[in-house]
Structure formats: structure tokens, C-alpha cells
Amino acid sequence: MGMKIINSSLFSIGCLWFFLLLSSSVAATAVPGEKAPDFLVADAQGDKHSLADYAGQWLVIEWFNKDCPYVKKHYGSGNMQFLQKKYTEQDVRWLTVISSAEGKQGYLEPTEALSVAKTHNLSASRPFLLDTSGEMGRAFGAKTTPHMFIINPEGEVVYAGAIDDNDSANPSVIANSHNYVSAALDASLKGKVVPRSSSRAYGCSVKY
Amino acid sequence: MIDRRNFLINILGFLLLAGSTHLIAQESISGDHVTVRWLAPSSFVDRASEKIGFYFEVDPGWHVYWRNPGDSGAAPRFTITPNGAEVGAIEWPFPSRLKIEHLTNLGYAGNVAYLFDLTPDRGGKVIALSAELEWLVCKIECIPGFGTMTLTRPVSDETRWSSANLDLRNHFAKRVPQSSVYSPWKPISLAAQGKDRIHLLLESETASKAPKVFPINGDLFSASKPKLQREGKTLDYTFGRQPGAALSESADFVLTDGTRAWRLDRVSFGTAMPEAKSRPLWLLVLAALAGGIILNLMPCVFPVLSIKLLGLVNEGYSERGRWREGLLYGAGVLTTFVALGVLLLVLRSWGAAIGWGFQLQSAPVVMALIALFWLMGLSFSGVFEFGHRLVNLAGVSRGGSFATGVLAVFVAAPCTGPFMGVALGTAAVLPAVEALLIFLGLGMGLAAPFVLLCASPVLLKRLPRPGPWMEKLRQFLAFPLYATVIWLLWVLGRILGESGWLIGALLLLAVTFTLWLGYNFSRIGRIIAWILMLTFLVIGYSTLTPKEKTFSKVAAGWQEYDRSLLDQALEEGRPVFIDYTAAWCITCQVNKKLVLDTPEVQRLFHKNKVLLLRADWTRQDPEITEALAALGRNSVPVYAWYPAGSREPQLLPQILQESIIVDLFNEKRKTK
């Protein structure tokens, strides 16, 4: 009987280790060169999206908050919509995510999100992904709006960081800024190595 | 349209930026939550360089940024067009780390001046500056501001400052980093470790306090506070690295001791450091092992184990039987330690802010332990003979050894001995597998004495021979158990408020009454007893709702831990003493009674105007858990001492003595 208890306790220790290894293999943030974290989030029309849905495709993920001055910089100038249009036309998928919690700045109900998409002339692949719980944002380690991520057809992150190299809130600087996202996408689509895969994401904090 | 002022300046032969002429040129600008004005003298001297600046007056609670703004935000921008003078680059006073929700910003909570050098041209009569400003001011939300400021001043034979402006200029000029030549700390090495960490090693012959270090390159370094380890004269700062960021040739830093600051320019990256821990794992496991052994002597563990052991001798087990019991006990201890460890790690990975001893932050668990200790106490006293059926955990019957092991861990957990604090704190930040090794080390330490005694007939023979004295010992050992019950009732009171005592005591009454029923009447009595017991348990547990408000009573002289109080005191340079404590931590209570709350020590604190903060971790509190983690700890007691003017806490020993506190102030006198 004693041996039985020893055996069963050894067995339970083994189970715990296994459980532990499983739980520690979940990725914490989106790191260039590593697999992107999975997500499951509904868009403003109620359709669910996960990373697996975009296997085999280039995917851009952008964090959005309509009241953030830096988002206004890139939407007011038409810069973001221009990029969305340019690359979705080249079969890149583009998801714009709102991770603002209910009651925080930038939070939108689905119907509001649809009308904001319209007024902002959003040209992403889908109307906003509504990550109200912040689960997707935290999984990616999204710090700011606009924080940008590019994921390759194999599901690996190839770029994480700012949209460009100028953290001014003034839209007039866009013309002379170096856009990291389009540089990475242009190189990627030509089968070349991304010139720069990481930068400090500038902007407003994501309002989890 | 050209306004009158610019028109006059044009007449004097000075050209201004075309872009600024359509704005109303002015010496100050206001935006939301910010006013910017010049810090400048009313006259300059020919070719004499003078430091002037932009003074940002920021509303309370709002902040503006350093050159590297950190996780979000943006540094202000200045485009200065001088006429009749030359201007130098913007000089940034050293920043502080501002924790804004999930992010760390580098900036200034309060007013700040961004400075630069101005040198009037040879033979000029007047200087004129036009500066285009762009800034971002944030609380949680951010508001950008724009504007143009002009400055026109005569050049004469005297530099005339208003004294208020000069004081402000000097205050911030002192905070601008000086050349590394003057730095008391010299860089020894800079090296990446793995993919996500960068180590900067500094050394100083003279300075004792560790400086704050701010990296200038935000693309490479994460803004969050680096982890600091001290080894003799060497300080090891571990910075986070931005995910996937490429290494540069070298990196620039700013160091500050809180009053002055220095630049460390172009510190070259050396070869990457090996992934090894700076504190070797085996040492930690060894410390955990030692801590585990000490746990055997804790007042709640010792009675249980000694009775169990004497029971084994008394029952006349065969050598093999004893060996088996020993192993079973060991398995019980290890399984429980690993289970608790895994639970802790899994909960942490889900984002729960908890630490070791968390099981005692739950009212039901404390309640169950109260009932258990009460029953064991009664059994030891011989009030009831349980026949080793109901409660054979501490008894002598076969197969109970595994359960004894489980129990030992549960009751031992709160008594984190001095060796365990460091080991458990480290375990909380280590990768899962290594953390578990430390938990296992603790478990092995706890199990070792019992298993060894069981395994070695020689040792066993050294134990006193069984006899009637054992009955007396058993009865005596009931008293530490009763003491434990009282202590746990108090803990329950701290968790639940006033009603905790009542609920706990009623539970004990119910348990005792039920037992009496069960023992003195036949089958029906027993059935009624069980029903009664269940009813009591259901009612008892349903009343276990923690009180909403935190403990209103904080001892005189102490204030409840509050991050903003701490920040404010540090800002003022006031010394701060933080007592991280919990009701279920015995060492904490002893330190409190014998040292911290004695009139002598209180008088000493009062005399030196020390802010006394008590961080009570009796119930789960994410803020305190986070603060402990920042200190590299995960258990209480922890005593953090911030000397006057210092922002880096010193950790005091876990077992306090009055002399330790007295020395804090003597040392202060010496260094002054």
C-alpha cells in the first residue's frame, strides 16, 4: 500500500511538471523573429478573427484609439489609410485593433466603431477588432497607439514597433519621416530581409 | 501681415523666420496644462556664453518628457533660429521614471527647464531668438502643444538676471548631466545577455549609494527600471531590451545620484554574457534546503513531527516499515511543495499578483487550519480519543505519514525563515523549472530530519526510550497547538474584520460539541453529529466574506502604504521606512513588538522625521505584491529603508534589533 502511495505521488508530481511546461510555453509578447501570439477577437460586425485565419498571408496589425493625438496625426493626414489601401491592394491583410477598456478613452461599442470606421475612411481589411478585454493587446505587448506589427505567412513576427521614425504629433513631419512599416512590407513582398525589425513604439499608452 | 514688433526688428536689420511672422510673437506660450516661458537675463554680454532655457510650468499630476521619453509619449522639440548670437544644443536635466499604468515613462513630474548655451556675436548690439516649440503633456491622456516664442535682448557690459529666474536656471543647470570625467561611477562593461537583457556594470571607489541609470537609446533599451545587484564595489544593472532590437556598437547613459548627474558616452558593447545566473542556482537551492531544515523547529510544525516520530518508535515498526513511513512523509512534503509552487507559478502566469504565503490570505484555508489545529490540540490533550480515525494526521497510524507531510508544508509556509526570504523571492522571478527546483529544495530541507531519523536506526536509538513520559510530552505539546489556534483566529480577524473572531470561535464550539455528541451516543448520535457539522461548515463558510475596507487601524506613527505618499516623501528627500508585514507572519509580529513599535525606536523615527509606512499583506494586495517584487522579494517580512535624499532603498535584515535601527541614524550622521 505504501508503495502505491509513493507511486501515485510520483505520478502526480510528473503531471504537475507536464502542466507547468505546457503553461510556460505560451508566448508572452510579439517578438520579431518569433511566432506571433494567438488571438481570438470579434470585429465590429461580430465576426471572429484568430491568427490561424491568416496563415499563409501577410498580416499587419495596428493599434488604434480615435482620441489619441498620434492616431489623429496619421489618420487626419490620410497617411494610415493610404498605407492600408496600398498594401491591402497587394493582398496584405490589415487589422486595426481597439484595446481600450470600457469606460476608458477610445472605447467604442460595435455600432460606434462602424461609424468611426466610416468617418475615418478606414481602409483596413475589416472594421475595427474590438479587444475590450485587452487580452490580444497584452498578448502582443501593445504599448501605444499606433503600435504596429507585421506577421509573415508562417505566423512569425517580422516587425514590431513605431509606424515611422518621427515621434512628433505634428502631421506636417510625415512627408519627411522614414516609414518603418512600408519599408518592412516593401522588402518582405519582394522576398528580401526586413531592413529594420524593431523600434520604440511611440504614441499614447494603450488604455487597457 | 507683419506685426509691429517684427517690423521694428526688421528695421534694426534682423531677419526673422518667415514662418513665425504670422503668429503673434511672444515671450511665453500657454497650452493645455502647460505654460512655457523664457529663463533668460534681461541683458547679455558680448561674446560671453550664458546658459538660458525654456521653463515649463506643468499642472500638478501632468508630466512632460526627457530626451528618451520611454514607453510612450514624446520629447519636446525646439527649433531655435538665432540672430546676433550662436546657440548650443538642448541640455536635458536628468529625468525620473514615471509609472503610468502599464508603462514606464521617462520625464518630469512637475516644472522643468530645458536649457541651452547662448553666445552673442562679436560687436552685436542686440540678440533675437525665434523658437518653434512642440511638446506633449500627459497625465494618462496626452495633449500635444505647439507655439513660437521670441526673445529680444540688448547686449551690454553686464548680464542681468532676476534673482528668481537665476535660481531656477541654476537649479536645473545643476541637474544637467556633466562629463563622465566627474562621474564617481565608471563603466566596467556593457553586454547583452540572451535575447532580452542587457547588463551594465559600474564601479565606484568612493560612492556608496547606487545611482539611477537612464539609457538614452529607447529603441534598444526598455524604459522600465533596471534590476540592480551589488557585488562589493560593482553594481550590475540589468535592463530589458526592446523585443527584437538589434544591438548597436555602443550606448549612452545618464547617471544620477538624485542631485547631480553625469553622462556615460559611447560605452562599447563587449562580448555577450553567458546566460548563467549571477547568483548561482545551486547556492539558492542550498539556502532553500537550510531554510527548510529550520522550518522543522517552527512552533506549529515541531509538535506534529515529534509526536509522529515518537509514535513510529513506540508502535514498534520494523526497520523497513519505518523507512517506508519516512519516504511517505517525504513524498507528502515534496508533492505539496511542488503543488503549491506550481499553483503559484500558474496563477502568476495568468497575471495574478500573489506571493508565497498566499494560501493564508484566504479565509476558508485559515478557517480549515483553525479547525485542524484545534482537533489536534484536543487529541493531544487527551480530551477525545479519536481512535486514529477522524484525525490520524498527527496520530500514529499507518499511512498517515503522507498526510503528515502535506500538513507540515501547509502550516510551515507562513513561517518563512531568514534563509527562505531570498530563495523564495528569487524563485518568483526565475524561469518555472528553476523556481520549482527551489521549492523542491525547501521541501527536501523540511523532510530531511524526519526521513533521516526514520532511515537510521543509529540515530533513532539516540532518541529517549518510549515510556509514560511520552504521554506527558504529548499533552504538553498540545499547548503550542492551542497557541497556533489563537494566532490563526487573529489572522482570520484581520482578514474578515471583527466578525472573524466570532465566526472562528463558533466553529470551534461547533466542532467540539459535535465530537462530544459523536463520542457519547451511538449511531444516531453520530449521524446527528455529522449533520450538525456539515450545517455549521456550510453556514460558517457562507459568512466568509472579506470586509471591503482595508484595516482601518494602523498603529500610531504609521501610515498605510500608499505609493503616492512614498513618491512625495522621496521627492522631498525625506527618509522613509517601509514595514512590509502580514498578520500571519510571526517574524513580522515579533519585530513589530520588540523593535519597531517600542517607544525608543518610535522616538528616534519621530526625531528624524521619518515617514513610516506599513504595507499590510495579510490579504492579497497587488500593489504591495508589486512593490515587493520590485525589491526582489516575494515574502514578508521585508524592511525597506530610504535614507534622506536617497531613492534607492536599503533592505534591512529580516530579524530586526534595536541597534540596527539606531545605526541607521548614526550612519547618517557620519556621512553628512
Taking only the tens place, the pLDDT of each residue in B575-599 is 899 998 887 777 777 788 788 888 8
Query: What was the pLDDT predicted at B360?
Result: 64
Is B654 a residue whose pLDDT tops 70? Answer: yes
The pLDDT of B237-255, averaged and rounded, is 89
Contact assessment for residue B115 and residue B101, using Cβ atoms and an 8 Å cutoff: no
Query: How confident is the model at residue B10, as a pLDDT?
Result: 41
Task: Please state, in angstroms and rounded to a whole number, the distance separating the CA atoms of residues B31 and B137.
Answer: 9
In the prediction, which pLDDT does B465 show? 66
A201 contacts on B by Cβ (under 8 Å): 71-72
Bond before B480 cis per omega within 30 degrees: no
Domains of chain A: 29-205 (3.40.30.10)
For residue B191, what is its C-alpha cell?
Answer: 553586454
Confidence of residue B261 (pLDDT cuts 50, 70, 90): very high
| Dist. CA B637–CA B581, nearest whole Å | 5
What is the enclosing helix (H) or strand (E) of B620? none
In angstroms, rounded to a whole number, what is the distance separating the alpha carbons of residues B585 and B74?
45
- A13 vs B69, B327, B338: nearest CB: B338
Q: Are B215 and B269 in contact (CB under 8 A)?
A: no
- Give residues 160 to 199 of A whose Cβ lies within 8 Å of B: 160-161, 167-170, 196-199
For residue B342, give the nearest of A20, A168, A204 by CB distance: A20
The confidence score (pLDDT) of residue B251 equals 92
All three cell numbers of A54: 491568416
Under 8 Å between Cβ of B577 and B632: no
Q: What are phi and psi of B168, to 5 degrees?
A: -65, -45
C-alpha to C-alpha distance for B426 and A149, rounded to whole angstroms: 33
Reported confidence tier of residue A28, pLDDT bands at 50, 70, 90: low
Backbone angles phi, psi at B471, to 5 degrees: -60, -40
* Rounded percentage of chain B residues whose pLDDT exceeds 90: 20
Q: What is chain A's mean pLDDT, rounded? A: 85
Query: Which of B101, B142, B243 is opposite residue A141, by nearest beta carbon?
Result: B243
Query: Percent helix, strand, coil in chain A (nearest 5)?
Result: 35, 20, 45
CB distance B251 to B216 below 8 Å? yes
- Residues recorded for chain B: 672
B34, containing H or E segment: strand B34-39
Residue A25 has pLDDT above 60, yes or no: no
Q: How far is A169 from chain B (nearest CA, A)?
A: 7
CA dist B56 and B35 (Å) reads 6
Q: What is d(CA B614, CA B595) in angstroms, rounded to the nearest whole number?
A: 14
Q: Three cell numbers at B6?
A: 517684427
Q: Maximum Cα–Cα distance for chain A, whole Å?
A: 80
Strands A148-151 and A59-63: antiparallel
pLDDT: which is higher, B501 or B127 = B127
> Any chain B CB within 8 A of the CB of A203?
yes
B91 — contact with chain A (CB < 8 Å)? no
Q: Is there a contact between A10 and B433 if contact means CB atoms under 8 Å apart?
A: no
Amino acid at B489: L
How far is CA A113 from each of CA A14, A78, A109, B212, B456, rounded to the nearest angstrom?
48, 18, 6, 44, 74
CA dihedral angle for residue A17, residue A19, residue A21, residue A26, rounded to 10 degrees: -160
Helix, strand and coil percent figures for chain B, each rounded to 5: 45, 25, 35
Contacts of A141 in chain B (CB under 8 A): 243
Rounded to 5°, angle at Cα B414 from B410 and B415: 110
The count of other CB atoms within 10 Å of the CB of residue B113 is 26
User: What is the distance between the alpha carbons of residues A13 and A11, in angstroms, rounded to a whole number?
Assistant: 5
Nearest CA to B618 among B561, B577, B580?
Answer: B580
Contact assessment for residue A94 and residue A124, using Cβ atoms and an 8 Å cutoff: yes
CA–CA separation, B119 and B106 (whole Å): 30
Any A CB within 8 A of B565 CB: no
Comparing A68-72, B53-57, B212-216, B548-552, the range with the smallest average pLDDT is B548-552
Q: Would you state the pLDDT for residue A53?
A: 93
Chain A with chain B: Cβ pairs closer than 8 A: 129
Query: Which residues from chain B sit within 8 angstroms of residue A148, using beta carbons?
Result: none
Average pLDDT over residues B356-379: 74
Contact by Cβ (8 Å): B6, B16: yes
Rounded Cα distance, A4 and A12, in Å: 12
pLDDT of B602 over the 70 cut = yes
Apex B10 CA angle, B6 and B15, nearest 5: 95
Query: What burial letters (b/e) apply to B412-422, b meaning 16+ CB within 10 Å?
Result: bbbbbbebbbb
pLDDT at B546: 52
Instruction: In chain B, count H helices and then E strands.
Output: 18, 24
Which residue in the set A5, A200, A201 is minimally distant from B328, CB to CB?
A5
Helical spans, DSSP H, in B350-431: 363-381, 400-412, 418-429
- pLDDT for B458 equals 76
Mutate to test the interface with A, among B32, B101, B102, B401 (most CBs of A within 10 A): B102
Residue of A13, A29, A71 to mutate for B, most B C-beta atoms under 10 A: A13
**A28 → chain B, closest CA residue:** B349
* Contact status, residue B43 vs residue B156, Cβ threshold 8 Å: yes
ipTM over 0.85: no
A26 touches chain B (CB under 8 A): yes
The minimal CB distance from A69 to the residues B142, B218, B324 is found for: B142
What's the CA gap between B193 and B272, in Å, rounded? 6
* Position A27 pLDDT exceeds 60: no
Which of A79-83, A178-182, B12-16, B382-386 is predicted with the least confidence, judged by mean pLDDT? Answer: B12-16
A170 and A112 Cβ atoms separated by less than 8 Å: no
Interval B174-232: pLDDT, tens: 999 998 888 888 888 898 888 888 999 888 888 778 899 999 999 899 998 998 887 77
Phi/psi for B367 (5° steps) reads: -60, -45
Asked if residue B110 has pLDDT above 80, the reply is yes
Q: Which domains does chain B show, CATH number per domain? A: 4-176 (2.60.40.10), 181-268 (2.60.40.10), 281-360+389-470 (no CATH), 559-671 (3.40.30.10)
DSSP classification of residue B653: P
- The answer to whether the CB of B141 falls within 8 A of the CB of B29 is no
> Residue B13: which region, alpha, beta or left (left: phi > 0; alpha: psi -120 to 50)?
left
C-alpha cell at B230: 551589488
What residue type is B129 in one-letter code? L
Q: Do A33 and B338 touch (CB under 8 A)?
A: no
- Alpha-carbon distance of A181 to A184, in angstroms, equals 5
**pLDDT class of B375 with cuts at 50, 70, 90:** confident
A2 to chain B, any CB pair closer than 8 A? The answer is yes
Q: Which among B138, B245, B335 has CB closest to A13?
A: B335
CA–CA dist B663, B475 (Å, integer): 44
> Is pLDDT larger for residue A16 or for residue B75?
B75
Across the interface, do A69 and B402 touch by the CB < 8 Å criterion? no
pLDDT at B433 over 50: yes
Mean of the per-residue pLDDT values of chain B: 79
Tens digits of per-residue pLDDT, A129-185? 999 999 999 999 999 999 999 999 999 999 999 999 999 988 999 999 999 999 999
Specify the higher pLDDT residue, B505 or B540: B505
A200 to chain B, any CB pair closer than 8 A? The answer is yes
Smallest CA–CA distance, residue A202 to chain B, in Å, is 5
Q: Are B311 and B396 in contact (CB under 8 A)?
A: yes
Residues in chain A with CB shorter than 8 Å from the CB of B77 are: 168
Chain A residues with CB inside 8 Å of B136's CB? Answer: 69, 169
The answer to whether B242 faces chain A, any CB pair under 8 Å, is: yes
Which chain B residues are closer than 8 Å to A203 by Cβ?
72
- Say yes or no: B432 contacts chain A, CB-CB below 8 A: yes
Q: How far apart are CA B419 and CA B346, in angstroms?
A: 24
Place of cell 529594420: A196
- A72 to chain B, minimum CA–CA distance in Å? 11
Q: What length is written for chain A?
A: 208
Q: Which residue has the cell 506613527?
A: B557
Test mutation, A4, A18, A20, chain B, max B CBs within 10 A: A20
Question: Which of B383 and A149 is assigned the larger pLDDT?
Answer: A149
* Beta strand spans in A51-91 (E): 59-63
pLDDT tens string B436-482 = 888 888 888 888 888 888 877 777 777 666 667 777 777 888 888 88
A205 closest CB neighbour out of B72, B245, B432: B72
In terms of phi and psi (left: phi > 0; alpha: psi -120 to 50; beta: otherwise), the region of B565 is: alpha
Give residue A199's Cα distance to chain centre: 15
Highest mean pLDDT among B166-170, B306-310, B393-397, B566-570: B166-170
Statement: residue B514 has pLDDT above 60: yes
**pLDDT score of A184:** 95
CB contact under 8 Å between A169 and B136, yes or no, is yes
Q: What kind and span of H or E run contains B153?
A: strand B142-156
Residues 599-638 of B with CB under 8 A from A: none
For A:70-109, CB contacts with B below 8 A are 105
Chain B, window 313-352: residues with a beta carbon less than 8 angstroms from a chain A beta carbon: 324-325, 327-328, 331-332, 334-335, 338-339, 342, 345-346, 349
Whether pTM > 0.95 for this model: the answer is no
Please determine, for residue B14, whether its predicted confidence score (pLDDT) is greater than 60. no
**B residues 170..209 contacting A (CB < 8 A):** 195
DSSP element (H, E) containing B198 = strand B197-203
- The candidate with the shortest Cα–Cα distance to A35, out of A195, A148, A136, A151, is A151
Q: Is B69 on the interface with A (CB under 8 A)?
A: yes
Chain B residues within 8 A of A67 when measuring between CB atoms: 141
Question: In this structure, how many other beta carbons lie within 10 angstroms of the beta carbon of residue A6?
Answer: 16
> Distance between terminal CA atoms of chain B?
61
Which of B71, B72, B146 to mutate: most A Cβ within 10 Å?
Answer: B72
- The pLDDT assigned to B300 comes to 66
Average pLDDT over residues A90-101: 95
Alpha-carbon gap, residue B378 to B394, rounded angstroms: 12
Task: Note the pLDDT tens digit of each residue in B20-77.
Answer: 333 445 888 988 899 999 999 999 998 899 999 999 999 988 999 999 999 888 899 9
CA distance A103 to chain B (A): 13
The DSSP code sequence of A170-195 is -GGGGGGS-BHHHHHHHHHHTTPPPS
What is the C-alpha separation between B540 and B363, in angstroms, rounded? 11
Whether A156 contacts chain B with CB within 8 A: no
Residue B655: left (phi > 0), alpha (psi -120 to 50), or beta?
A: beta
Contact assignment for B402 to A169 by CB distance below 8 Å: no
Interface of B with A in 265-324 (CB under 8 A): 324
CA B219 to chain centre: 27
**B357 CA to chain A: closest CA distance, Å?**
20
Tell whether B219 is within 8 A of chain A (Cβ): yes
Say which residues have a Cβ less than 8 Å from residue B142's Cβ, sequence separation at least 6. Answer: A68, A69, A204, B72, B73, B136
Kindly report, residue by residue over B147-158, the tens digit of the pLDDT: 999 999 999 888
